[in-house]
Structure 1
């Protein structure tokens, strides 16, 4: 006689298959750690540049300064942002590609494409909006805007990947709202959200899903 099939086990297997076909589950926690390290390094470089050109209160002086000051700093700040985004994407691609290969999954499948698109639309819109804020003299709202739009992008993308992304998105939005009230602390909130937030999220995800279990004695 064939052994009886466990209905609960069947339902669990069906649910796992449906999740794999509709959600990108190979996102690596190490990619979050790497992106966080890149963000902290970028914040340090930005702080050095602003102190060098605008004095010890460089960030605050840039926000309160003239349009000529903002225009002069814009090429460096945009270049720094491009380098940071490129490095973060390279780190995320490498670690996520490695995890997908270990799991025998395709990196650029349908769920991955949906995830990328759902992230890209709010991020591009938010980036352009924040550049507009900067050029219009509202530089104090740039970092809060970046955090808010990034949080919205993560919330929008969370339905296509791991559920923990939603918590990271809410955290970024919360930091963005607080940063509105403390405009002189923009670089600190940038480092907290994009730096330490990513590192903490990445470590949690790595320990939860990727770290090999310790052998029991």
Structure 2
């Protein structure tokens, strides 16, 4: 009887098992696309608000740094808008990720999933408080760059638990945040590129690579 075993095949199988056990692979590209669309809608609402309140959307820094009183007056709307974007994006991410987890027959809220969520939550919470502080201190032009940088760091921190594309998305957000520091007057455009367009592009790539292929099998 031939008992020879292909060592390369064994190593490939072991690697696949280790990959499944150490990385959360059920993230859905559709959740990224949905988050990007939500962010773009939020940018549209932001443009409408700035235009209505200040009569101009061209000089983002000027209209957001005019005075402490005006910054405080705008704060409830901005917090509400940001909270709504986060809530809708998280709801979409939960829905599409749960649907893919069911398709893959894996547990959604596993210990690995909890580690992934925690690795995202800590930098995001710290970044949110930091951006709120610099807004109240008058550096409103640095809020969007700060959001992009902390979000990119959160993705980079979480990428060790999930798909490789998340690391590249994190690096993209960090790069956009650094560029946005140099052009603070284009805060809404930077937000649209970082949280809108980037999410849509990476979501499409992830969907085509992992989900569309799996569903066609």
Normalising by the smaller structure, the TM-score range is over 0.9
Q: Within 5 A, what are the aligned runs for 1:50-61?
A: 50-57=50-57, 59-61=60-62
Q: TM-score, normalised by structure 1?
A: 0.95
* Number of the residue aligned with 1:11: 11
* Number of the residue aligned with 2:132: 131
Answering whether residue 100 of structure 2 is matched by residue 99 of structure 1, we say yes
Helix, strand or coil for the counterpart of 1:212?
Answer: helix
Contact 2:36 2:196 in 1 (8 A): yes
Q: CA deviation at 1:3?
A: 5.3
Answering whether residue 39 of structure 2 is matched by residue 39 of structure 1, we say yes
Tell me the C-alpha RMSD between the 2 structures.
1.5
Number of corresponding residues: 215
Q: Within 5 A, what are the aligned runs for 1:64-79?
A: 64-79=65-80
Q: Structure 2: which 5+ residue stretches go unaligned?
A: none
Q: CA deviation at 1:64?
A: 2.9
Contact 1:62 1:70 in 2 (8 A): no
Q: CA deviation at 1:21?
A: 1.3
* Number of the residue aligned with 2:202: 201
1:55-98 deviation line (CA, Å, top 9, x unaligned): 12363333330001100000000011111101000100111111
1:159-178 deviation line (CA, Å, top 9, x unaligned): 00011111111110111111
* Number of the residue aligned with 1:187: 188
Q: Structure 1: which 5+ residue stretches go unaligned?
A: none
Helix, strand or coil for the counterpart of 1:134?
Answer: helix
